Chain A
Amino acid sequence: MNLKDPEAMTAVVGNVLRYGVLISAIIIVFGTIELIAASGNSDVLGNIVYNPDKIPHGNFDVSLSGLVIGLVGLQPYALIELGAIVLIATPVSRVLISVFLFAAEGDKLYVVVTAVVLFLLLFSILVTPFVPGFQA
């Protein structure tokens, strides 16, 4: 792969999106099949109870440790959450690759613009969830 060729970089962007979406979809399909096999005929109400007074609001674990344990056990919820995380990562990786895309075109202004967008994005995803004021 030639990082100096804009056409090649555009192809890379296209592939990252295609595979990101595909991998996410496959993981979610597996999780959904498991979910249906395990409890497809039970009432959905227990799964959509919203608890306004506690975090997380739903009856599912969103902690990293909970996710890892769930994935080791191939539990449907953990698989679906992993699929969602892969999906959320696709636009982020697109911005990341765009930094290189503009660098390949020799466009310094947009390397800076895109890098700032990437910084704001990562700050928002990784930092703000742990700032108390943001936890509405």
Chain B
Amino acid sequence: MVIIEFLLILFISSIFAGILGSIVGVGGGVVIIPVLTLFLGVDIHFAIGASIVAIIGTSSGAATTYVKDKLTNLRVGMFLELATAAGAICGAAIAAYINSVALELIFGSILLVMLVPTVMKIGEDIPKSPELKGLSKRLGLSGSYTETDGTVVNYNATRPEVGLAGMAVAGVLSGLLGIGGGAFKVLSMDLAMKLPMKVSTTTSNFMIGVTAAASAGIYFARGDVNPVIIAPVALGILIGATIGARLLIRSRNPTIRKAFALVLAVTALQMILSSAGIKL
């Protein structure tokens, strides 16, 4: 395949990955990694390096819109990022000594199981907000946003300690495998902390950029961030994330949850298949 063809295929798939990733709060690796490894015959390490760049692009590209519309909850994001960043450093430190096959199988299975509560909440538009008390109150984990029809949605977070534990897992996973972090972040905020779906995915969108940036130095130094691969990925992702962010603002929570459930299922299957030696 000639270079220009290679760039074009990656550019177009990255636009799609950026749209999807920015809506459901993941980095788009779920689309980009299989395109690179299966279709373009790129080594998995380069694919993960490209995925890191894709995550940061999705996060920063969409954030411009999310910051303006006050959808991302910066306090929730920063508080949880404590666990994620620490987890990511631990994950990277032990990566050389860990059997990633077993890990992928375990975490893939956990994600698959999490599909059940996610699908059960599929009709939920705005969650019944719990009373703000305990640790959530001390940490000020509440907020509000406005839907496009003018409805003001007020929400409070609950069980921040469970969310924090989920985030530590997400961090270790990002540091170890370079994938799957975003799905765990959304699940922690949605299922444990009972935040509205939009707040969960956009806050995850903010966090994945920070977590990915934390491990970017290592991937860069290893030479896994290949210029020919990341150029079309970064450009496509930035365009896609800009489009996706506008779509999210106009979508209702149940639509976003359906898209997330789909991405969750595919991510889980990818991890399980990958542990069986099928690198998708």
Q: Which residues of A contact B (CB under 8 A)?
A: 10, 13-14, 17-18, 20-21, 24-25, 28-29, 31-32, 35-36, 39-45, 47-48, 50, 52, 55-58, 60, 62, 76-77, 80-81, 83-85, 87-92, 94-95, 98, 101, 107, 109-110, 113-114, 116-117, 120-121, 123-126, 128-130, 133-136
Contacts and interface: CB of A to CB of B under 8 A. Distances in A.
Contacts of B61: 21
The secondary structure that dominates the B interface is helix
Interface residues of B, number: 65
A121 B213 contact: yes
Greatest chain A CB density within 10 A among B78, B231, B234 is at: B231
Contacts of B64: 14, 17-18, 21
B235 A39 contact: no
Given A13-B67, A55-B223, A117 B81 contact: yes
A87 B60 contact: yes
The secondary structure that dominates the A interface is helix
Contacts of A40: 2-4
Given A28-B234, A135-B222, A81 B78 contact: no
B210 A84 contact: no
B119 interface: no
B223 A57 contact: yes
A29 B140 CA distance: 42
B74 A98 contact: yes
30 contacts: A10-B67, A14-B68, A21-B64, A24-B234, A28-B231, A32-B231, A36-B3, A41-B3, A44-B228, A47-B3, A47-B226, A48-B229, A50-B46, A55-B223, A56-B222, A83-B231, A84-B220, A87-B56, A88-B213, A90-B209, A91-B56, A91-B60, A94-B60, A110-B75, A110-B140, A120-B214, A121-B213, A125-B214, A129-B217, A136-B92
Contact of B95 (A10, A60, A124, A136): A136
A44 B1 contact: yes
Interface in B140-183: 140
**The 6 nearest A-B residue pairs measured at CB:** A56-B223, A50-B43, A129-B221, A125-B217, A91-B209, A80-B227
B228 A134 contact: no
A134 B223 contact: no
A135 B212 CA distance: 17
B93 to A, nearest CB: 6
A124 B214 contact: yes
Greatest chain A CB density within 10 A among B46, B95, B213, B220 is at: B213
A63 B171 CA distance: 27
